[in-house]
Amino acid sequence: MTPTDELLSLAHDIAREAGELARRRRAEGVHIAATKSALADIVTAADREVEALIRERLARARPDDGFFGEESGAEQGTSGITWVVDPIDGTVNYAYGIPAYAVSVAAVEGMPEPTRWRALAGVVFAPMLGELFHATAGGGAWLTLDDHPQRLTVPAHAPAAGALLATGFGYDPATHDGDLARVGRVMPLARDLRRIGSASLDLCYVAAGRLDGYFERGLNPWDHAAGALIVEEAGGRVGGLPGGRPGKDLTIAAASELFAALEAAIDEH
């Protein structure tokens, strides 16, 4: 097994265990533990418990690696590898009992900064759907369902009827006017729009051809770290502001042809 395959195998096992914990806790009843950047930006007790489980399992298996998690922050390692983790991506869906949520775990090398790291392995596990999306750098992108892995490839062209697009809106109401204006600029390219509520699943759905494209402003590194690798290994393109990497300012994912059209439509200048 290559070192990257070992990272993937560990991410697989931990994401599955963490996803099952999240699912069990949801069945027991959700508890909103706090709000963060805005009133709508909630964190549940399960978010914190699931991240603690992931962090403990990683520290036990790979004590010299760094960690960068949504709920418990960052810790520099000495190995050159950092784990970028969103314990429950789609927290609001989780709180409302909507099954579209996922555990996102990525292993990156280099500085733990989205514009400077190289993603080596990424796993996005949706426990309510039993779907495990995964990729390694150079190893392709896969969806494993019922222990059957199937290779993912982003379709090269959006249908003549227009692209099925997904997006998201920030927790801060002050950002909604800009988000809605961006949707208005993009809609001429679309056959329809989806708002799934989990960035990691939006990205995996582009990789799986369930969406033709996805764009969103305001994502955090843990939202896109694994999903971006999965899209790129499926032959798609992921970026941000023109010529940039995905990040807080903007994340776009699509096949190259549609990516360029989305980038042009979104550009506000």
Binding site for ligand LIP (CB under 6 A): 70, 86, 89-91, 168, 170-171, 197-199, 216, 223
Q: Is the dihedral of CA 221, 227, 231, 232 positive or negative?
A: positive
Is 112 or 170 the residue whose CB approaches ligand LIP more closely? 170
- Residue (122 or 170) nearer to ligand LIP, CB: 170
**Which DSSP helix (H) or strand (E) runs through 232?**
helix 221-233
Instruction: Output the smallest distance, CB 229 to ligand LIP, in A.
Output: 16
Nearest approach in angstroms of CB 94 to ligand LIP is: 8
Q: Which helix (H) or strand (E) is 261 found in, with range?
A: helix 256-266
Q: How far is the CB of 197 from ligand LIP (least distance, A)?
A: 6
| 177 Rama class: left (phi>0) / alpha (psi -120 to 50) / beta | alpha
Least distance between ligand LIP and beta carbon 186 (Å): 15
Q: What share of the chain is helix, strand, coil (3-state, %, to 5)?
A: 35, 30, 35
Residues 6+ apart with CB under 8 A from 59: 67
Residue (62 or 83) nearer to ligand LIP, CB:
83
Which neighbouring-strand residues pair with 109? 81, 118
Minimum CB separation from ligand LIP for residue 80, in Å? 26
Residue 244 corresponds to which tokens in the numbers above?
A: 């940039």
CA distances from 73 to 51, 84, 214 (A): 10, 10, 27
* Least separation in angstroms between CB 230 and ligand LIP: 14
Beta carbons of 164 and 212 less than 8 angstroms apart: yes
Of the pair 36, 118, the CB lying nearest ligand LIP is at: 36
Given the complex with ligand LIP, which of 197 and 246 has the nearer CB atom?
Answer: 197
Q: Which is closer to ligand LIP, CB of 62 or CB of 224?
A: 224
- Chain centroid, CA 217 distance in Å: 13
When CB distances to ligand LIP are compared, the closest residue is 168
